[in-house]
Structure 1
Amino acid sequence: MSMDSAASDAVVDAIVAEFRLWLERERGLSAATVCCYGKQARKFLSWLPDPADSAVQQLDSTQVTSFMVAYCRDRKASSAKATVTAVRAFLRYLHATGWVRVSLVGAVPAVAGWRLASLPKGLDAAVVTRLLDTCDRDTFVGRRDRAILLLLARLGLRGAEVADVRVGDVDWRAGEITIRGKGNRLDRLPLPIDVGEAMVAYLTAGRPVCDTRTVFCTARKPYRRLSASAIRAIMGRACRGAGLTRIGAHRLRHTLATEMLRAGSSFPEVGQGLRHRNNLATSIYAKVDDNVLRMLARPWPTGDRS
């Protein structure tokens, strides 16, 4: 690596670090969101010509649009939308802190997408059992991974929420667990017996003694909290062990929602269970509610005119 390249990387590191600090202090975003936005900002800065600080000061709308078009061309809509959100946040930071004179947020093109267009895909109970059975309960890693998969499956948590569960969040006497959701929202949920037993097995027979405040940590020194990406990797490893194509951790959240509906839960109850802030987010599960759809279906014509 040349000295010029190293200097440019140092400038990028400094800008990203200040951006992340701004997100934490001014916006109050969660650690997972700050990390995600920081990664996207780094990709954007690395795309600009060297030196990075000069390129940022001379940034214009054409460059912003060109980056977004080039970067998102072959990506899924969900990935492109995440990049759009992060880059817009970064451009707001640049304007608010005086790096650029005018706001360039409007130069970030929107990503075409239609809310509720997709169909949530749950998993059969047998598939969930196969995933859980891949965890070797005689090993530290197996006990940890089983507890993680059960939190995803039984409580419908997001990967980042599982990663953020802290030791003090579990009220063992009351049988409840506090979840840190989107927007730093705190919710108390009942702790299912099998989830509690799996967490106890991990905490009492395997979790290393360390300063990490979160329940789940890495298996090797130096011990650190697991990231949301590590939770996804655990799900991927379970899929391989079960002989399945890779399934995202969010599929277990969809599975819980569809099971609740088919057991007779109402949409408000499902929304409450998944901790949705907007009822529209829950309404997508109407597509998999067989009982409701059966009432809407019209009889198939038989051709009998008598």
Structure 2
Amino acid sequence: MGVVKGFLKYAYEEKVFSTDWSKIIQRTNYKQQPKLPSSFSIDEIKSILKSIDRSNSSGKRDYAMILLAIKLGMRVSDIAGLKFEDIDWDKHILTFTQFKTKKSITLPLLPEIGNAIIDYLKYARAVSDESHCFLQQLSPYKKVTAEDVSRVARFYIHRSGISLKERKHGAHALRHSFASELLGNKTSLPVISEALGHGHTSSTMPYLRIDINQLRQCALDVSLVPSIFYQQKGGFVS
């Protein structure tokens, strides 16, 4: 329609047409939908977690980091930036300022996550004065980066042997899987937005497209067209 409108405008300016027919064509405001976010099923998530060898120091750290992405939907930048001061063991919560939005968020410190972090801190973390929770495995034991967390996630997703097909296989897919599970549990959109740390529910809307069952609940019933409609002549019933 934009091309036709432009052509008619051009034809009028070149005096091919005496009337500017481009004015009768309304402007379109089509916004391309983003691609469906990649996500994994509950069984696939279990396979990813099972692929982590928790008997060594790397596995203990990686298991805790991946749990934060799967169970809380945390971004890789926030997992890498998690500090000891962000963990309130008494209240069982995590409170931190998100790297992307610069807004504070509070998330529940689930028992499974708390136990994994403790297991890492007690038996795997290198001795260091670093205030960040997760450290790199090699000296000088600096804090992990967002790229480190992404690399770890990709490694275990591949190691799990699940079929990826055309899906993305990074840590962000684990975050999408968290949102998908919330949708499956019929969690309201504002709650999902809050859990994901989105500033507005419009940022969360694309996640609705993951769950077909949720989309079906949004669909309206279409009434059947009376048979007399097809017997019309000249645009009206004779």
Shorter-chain TM-score tier: 0.7 to 0.9
Determine the structure 1 residue equivalent to 2:219: 296
Query: Structure 1 residue 153 and structure 2 residue 64: aligned?
Result: no
C-alpha displacement of 1:205: 0.8
The answer on whether the counterparts of 1:180 and 1:186 sit within 8 Å (CA) in structure 2 is: yes
Residues paired across the two proteins, number: 191
* Paired AA for residue 181 in structure 2: E
Out of 199, 209, 222, the position equivalent to 1:277 is 199
CA shift digits 1:242-299 (9 cap, x unpaired): 1245611011111111111111111111101111002210111222342342441657
**Considering only aligned residues, what root-mean-square deviation do their CA atoms show, in Å?**
2.3
Runs of 4+ aligned residues of structure 1 deviating over 3 Å after TM superposition are: 113-116, 297-301
Which 5+ residue runs of structure 1 have no aligned equivalent?
A: 1-112
Determine the structure 1 residue equivalent to 2:84: 167
Determine the structure 1 residue equivalent to 2:135: 217
TM-score using structure 1 length: 0.58
For residues 157 and 184 of structure 2, what CA distance do their matches in structure 1 show?
A: 25
C-alpha displacement of 1:179: 2.8
Query: Structure 1 residue 226 and structure 2 residue 130: aligned?
Result: no
CA shift digits 1:177-202 (9 cap, x unpaired): 12331243221211111111100100
Please give the residue correspondences for 1:31-110 in structure 2 after superposition, counting only pairs within 5 Å.
none
Q: Structure 1 pair 115/180, CA: closer, same or farther in 2 (3 Å)?
A: farther
Higher relative contact order (CA 8 A, sep 6+): 2
* Paired AA for residue 124 in structure 2: G
For residues 146 and 300 of structure 1, what CA distance do their matches in structure 2 show?
A: 52
Identity fraction in percent: 27
TM-score using structure 2 length: 0.74
Q: Secondary structure at the match of 2:180?
A: helix
Out of 52, 59, 65, the position equivalent to 1:135 is 52
Determine the structure 1 residue equivalent to 2:158: 240
Please give the residue correspondences for 1:175-186 in structure 2 after superposition, counting only pairs within 5 Å.
175-181=92-98, 182-186=100-104
For residues 153 and 140 of structure 2, what CA distance do their matches in structure 1 show?
A: 23
Q: Secondary structure at the match of 2:48?
A: helix
Higher helix share: 1
